[in-house]
Amino acid sequence: MSKEGVKVRILERDFTIACGPGERSAVEAAADYLNEQLKQVQAQSKVIGVEHTVVLAALNMANELLAAQAAPLNDISESVVDRIREMRQSIAEFSSS
């Protein structure tokens, strides 16, 4: 599989990232998202260095990822429990009639 170089700009620095065919837009979107997260951390804490900024942004993004991964499971679990309750109630009503 051939790789191509995608140029991105993060915190006013240029980087060339290798990616596979068809991954260019995903790499660019990821770089844009990372850059925005880094800028937000810098705006909130004007005195911290780049290394500290990167670590805080990475922690924020990891927290977002974990929350997003857990959210569908929680939503499904709650909806399944609600549906089971409805079914039990329907069965109980049907049995008593």
**Are 9 and 30 within 8 A, CB to CB?**
no
**Are 56 and 40 within 8 A, CB to CB?**
no
Model pTM score: 0.69
Sequence spans of domains, the chain: 4-96
pLDDT recorded at residue 97: 62
Instruction: Tell me, rounded to whole angstroms, the distance of Cα 46 from its chain centroid.
Output: 25
pLDDT recorded at residue 13: 95
From first to last of its 97 residues, the chain has per-residue pLDDT tens of: 689 999 999 999 999 999 999 999 999 999 999 999 999 999 998 778 999 999 999 999 999 999 888 776 666 677 777 878 888 888 877 777 6
- Homologous superfamily of domain range 4-96: Cell division protein ZapA protomer, N-terminal domain (3.30.160.880)
CB burial class (10 A; 0-12, 13-18, 19+) of residue 57?
Answer: buried
Helix (H, G, I), strand (E, B) or coil at 17: strand
